[in-house]
Chain A
């Protein structure tokens, strides 16, 4: 007999205990943590939780996906746009193992997630029971923390710990494996207490002023300072503090793809994108600056190129909340260990108001060269097949930088990150560290749930779309509004580019055949259109943006186009190629 929700709240408020099941305790914990959306897929080992969920329709919105991987990517998209913890349910065995890719993705991109997996009865553990897998050991390397619950009484405390760990410090995915007996077991529930301290875990270090002062001194003396920022600014909700710092110090700033949008694309001090396919100026001038200020970024190998030829001439100041990141890849001169929301204002107070006009103009100069060599033709081709760049440009003209762009992985991802206009933070949702193909479609669904008042546009390649296209079923069933653009070049473009540049055009298994995507969408009751000619593009994009619900737009783009500039693997950022 289900104990009414109100009764639970009343009794626990009066310090009385209520006799409820582990499953109900789980759901109460979720509600207490402010969860209102769950992405999940039921199964045998998680049935008691789903049975309890049946009575929580008004409080918890459960979205039934079509594959657990879709569920967890949706949870990621939700967490990225809303800033809240994404919650995912999956059953034992294959359900749990289907989450692994998403967990690895969330782990490397620091996305807060709490995943609940069902597990067989505790007495069956280790017996190779039906749908039993050793989830804890499988997910040890890809979660920030995981735990197996075998007794219902543990549930409130473990969930509290899980949410605290997932969202504090450097966020990350947490997996809680609950055995079926614990889900069914009744116990005397005393109410839910959120966790705010674990003695072995220090999410936020004390800021040490001497380092902040040293950093400020270096910045004030610098002739050619350069700021590079990443997702840390977004995760710390420090966009305002960051903007103030940049504007006061007058220092040109460049971004990693996960940091995009923290300050608007159009900001005069935003000098562009870093990385293997980043902008010309930021890459070359990294090796000419005298002080490099890294904020909330981890010096990923795609950003640094060869480490022995990266910013060796510069004094490096690294602001990061994770002490393991400081000095991991790049030797720092001044480590400013802390939450950038706290450290940035302290730094801003000590830096002098300045303008570095001549130095900034060097960036503009490189931009001019890049526009001439690459950008102009990519965004404004006059003849020939359509380019990916021009589609993004036309999209910008319609969204004016207000839309949330969710990208999959590959050439289109690089093109979209480079050319999309971002006015707001949390607008560029993409799989950065892991580069998971198939990320975009489910992530777009989650992103929309996390930001219902924004237009969400998913930009996907023909390869990546086929990896998770079953989530069209989720869109169909929920009627969620997601605009989908498939940039179809009939190739696994990024691999083909490398085969062209480095393997003598030996196109080994990159020519991929796709179905009629519009027909597939129609089968899922989603309207769509395919565009083959430049003349049709603008109209089709308009139709997509203005459509009342989801819409799939397939654009046939030129088959063999390369993304430039490029820093080839093993090369220094100074060796960036324009063609």
Chain B
């Protein structure tokens, strides 16, 4: 009898992958894409869907923690869906990403404890709304930064907190416009190898 436990703990390196999906704007497509993950008991860490830079084309940003082989097979299954145009997958090194977070703190605390105010300023938080009883701050950045700020604010009474999904831009991509025009042609040109932007992070000029 095969030992299923040891087979799954083979520690094929799992890491965070950012999956970018370009789709038609079709009701129900979100469900179709989600079930590809749930069917394989894969947890979606973050999911964002919004219109892309091109009209009528939507863009999904999905973050999961898995091995590359699993991610590769997943993206091929997603691309199979009729309304999906193209799917890319990247590790964190190949994308530029941000997550938004909102924190609701009691205004008294902010007014009294000057240190809190300074801390917020140091962490790049900006005030979105200031009312008599509460103030809402916003930070944009990476997970570690927002986590850090929660830890700092907890002892001072963090009333409420919400974190957004991740949005990511692929470092080496050129947008989707040209690609789309290729798809619209009856006979698309020579197919580019899947995921042509993978591992090209080094080719991007960085400060």
Q: Is the CB of B24 within 8 A of A324?
A: no
Instruction: Check A145/B28 contact, CB under 8 A, given A197-B186, A200-B23, A206-B191.
Output: no
Q: Is the CB of A140 within 8 A of B191?
A: no
How far is A146 from B29 in the complex, measured between Cα atoms in Å? 10
Q: Is the CB of A322 within 8 A of B80?
A: yes
User: Is residue A460 contacting chain B, with contact meaning CB distance below 8 A?
Assistant: no
Q: Is the CB of A136 within 8 A of B83?
A: no
Q: Which residues of the other chain, B, contact A196 by a CB distance below 8 angstroms?
A: 186
Q: Is the CB of B73 within 8 A of A324?
A: yes
Among B28, B72, B180, residue most surrounded by chain A Cβ atoms (within 10 Å): B28
Q: Is the CB of B85 within 8 A of A200?
A: yes
User: B172 to chain A: closest CB distance in Å?
Assistant: 22
How far is A141 from B37 in the complex, measured between Cα atoms in Å? 12
Q: Is the CB of B31 within 8 A of A137?
A: yes
User: A161 to chain B: closest CB distance in Å?
Assistant: 8
Q: Which residues of the other chain, B, contact A199 by a CB distance below 8 angstroms?
A: 85, 180, 183-184
User: B24 to chain A: closest CB distance in Å?
Assistant: 5
How far is A140 from B83 in the complex, measured between Cα atoms in Å? 13
Interface band, chain B: 20 to 34
Q: Is the CB of B184 within 8 A of A165?
A: no
Among A197, A199, A201, A205, residue most surrounded by chain B Cβ atoms (within 10 Å): A199
Q: Which residues of the other chain, A, contact B39 by a CB distance below 8 angstroms?
A: 141
User: Is residue B129 contacting chain A, with contact meaning CB distance below 8 A?
Assistant: no
Q: Is the CB of A145 within 8 A of B73?
A: no
How far is A200 from B57 in the complex, measured between Cα atoms in Å? 10
The listed residue (A145, A324, A570) touching B82 by CB distance below 8 A is A145
Q: Is the CB of A140 within 8 A of B79?
A: no
Q: Is the CB of A140 within 8 A of B35?
A: yes
User: Is residue B188 contacting chain A, with contact meaning CB distance below 8 A?
Assistant: yes
For A569, the closest partner residue in chain B by CB is: B2
User: Is residue A577 contacting chain B, with contact meaning CB distance below 8 A?
Assistant: no
Q: Which residues of the other chain, A, contact B2 by a CB distance below 8 angstroms?
A: 570
User: B111 to chain A: closest CB distance in Å?
Assistant: 48
Instruction: Check A328/B28 contact, CB under 8 A, given A200-B83, A206-B190, A206-B191.
Output: no
Among A198, A206, A324, residue most surrounded by chain B Cβ atoms (within 10 Å): A324
Identify which of residues 16-43 in chain B touch chain A, using a CB-to-CB cut-off of 8 Å: 23-24, 28, 31-32, 35, 39
Q: Which residues of the other chain, B, contact A323 by a CB distance below 8 angstroms?
A: 76, 79, 194
Q: Which residues of the other chain, A, contact B76 by a CB distance below 8 angstroms?
A: 323-324, 328
Instruction: Check A324/B80 contact, CB under 8 A, given A199-B183, A200-B24, A206-B190.
Output: yes
User: Is residue A62 contacting chain B, with contact meaning CB distance below 8 A?
Assistant: no
Q: Which residues of the other chain, A, contact B31 by a CB distance below 8 angstroms?
A: 137, 140
How far is A145 from B24 in the complex, measured between Cα atoms in Å? 13
Q: Which residues of the other chain, B, contact A201 by a CB distance below 8 angstroms?
A: 82-83
Identify which of residues 167-196 in chain B touch chain A, using a CB-to-CB cut-off of 8 Å: 180, 183-184, 186, 188, 190-191, 194
Number of A-B contacts (CB under 8 A): 52
How far is A500 from B78 in the complex, measured between Cα atoms in Å? 42
Identify which of residues 178-221 in chain A touch chain B, using a CB-to-CB cut-off of 8 Å: 196-202, 205-206, 208
User: Is residue B84 contacting chain A, with contact meaning CB distance below 8 A?
Assistant: yes
How far is A199 from B82 in the complex, measured between Cα atoms in Å? 9
User: Is residue A144 contacting chain B, with contact meaning CB distance below 8 A?
Assistant: yes
How far is A205 from B79 in the complex, measured between Cα atoms in Å? 13
Q: Is the CB of B84 within 8 A of A200?
A: yes
Chain A 125-165, CB-CB to B under 8 Å as 1, else 0, gives 00000000000110011001110000000000000000001
User: Is residue B92 contacting chain A, with contact meaning CB distance below 8 A?
Assistant: no
The listed residue (B28, B73, B183) touching A200 by CB distance below 8 A is B183
User: A427 to chain B: closest CB distance in Å?
Assistant: 29
For B77, the closest partner residue in chain A by CB is: A324
Q: Is the CB of B183 within 8 A of A205?
A: no
Among B2, B32, B184, residue most surrounded by chain A Cβ atoms (within 10 Å): B32
Q: Which residues of the other chain, A, contact B190 by a CB distance below 8 angstroms?
A: 206
Q: Which residues of the other chain, A, contact B180 by a CB distance below 8 angstroms?
A: 199
Q: Which residues of the other chain, B, contact A137 by a CB distance below 8 angstroms?
A: 28, 31
User: B19 to chain A: closest CB distance in Å?
Assistant: 15
For B33, the closest partner residue in chain A by CB is: A140
How far is A198 from B191 in the complex, measured between Cα atoms in Å? 16
User: A139 to chain B: closest CB distance in Å?
Assistant: 11
The listed residue (B1, B32, B35, B82) touching A165 by CB distance below 8 A is B82
How far is A320 from B84 in the complex, measured between Cα atoms in Å? 20
Instruction: Check A324/B35 contact, CB under 8 A, given A136-B28, A140-B28.
Output: no
User: A257 to chain B: closest CB distance in Å?
Assistant: 24
Q: Which residues of the other chain, A, contact B183 by a CB distance below 8 angstroms?
A: 199-200, 202
How far is A197 from B185 in the complex, measured between Cα atoms in Å? 9
Q: Which residues of the other chain, A, contact B24 by a CB distance below 8 angstroms?
A: 200
User: A115 to chain B: closest CB distance in Å?
Assistant: 16
How far is A323 from B77 in the complex, measured between Cα atoms in Å? 9
User: B58 to chain A: closest CB distance in Å?
Assistant: 11
How far is A165 from B85 in the complex, measured between Cα atoms in Å? 15
Q: Is the CB of B82 within 8 A of A144?
A: yes
User: B42 to chain A: closest CB distance in Å?
Assistant: 15
Q: Which 8 A-B pairs have the closest CB atoms?
A: A324-B76, A199-B183, A200-B85, A145-B82, A201-B82, A199-B184, A324-B80, A140-B32
Interface residues of B (CB under 8 A from A): 1-2, 23-24, 28, 31-32, 35, 39, 72-73, 76-77, 79-80, 82-85, 180, 183-184, 186, 188, 190-191, 194
- Selected A-B contacts with CB under 8 Å, 13 pairs: A140-B31, A140-B32, A165-B82, A200-B23, A200-B84, A201-B82, A202-B188, A205-B191, A323-B194, A324-B73, A324-B76, A324-B77, A328-B73
Q: A199-B180, A200-B23, A206-B190 are in contact. List 20 more A-B contacts (CB 8 A).
A: A140-B31, A140-B35, A141-B39, A144-B82, A145-B83, A146-B28, A200-B82, A200-B83, A200-B84, A200-B183, A206-B188, A208-B191, A323-B76, A324-B76, A324-B80, A327-B72, A327-B73, A328-B73, A328-B76, A570-B1
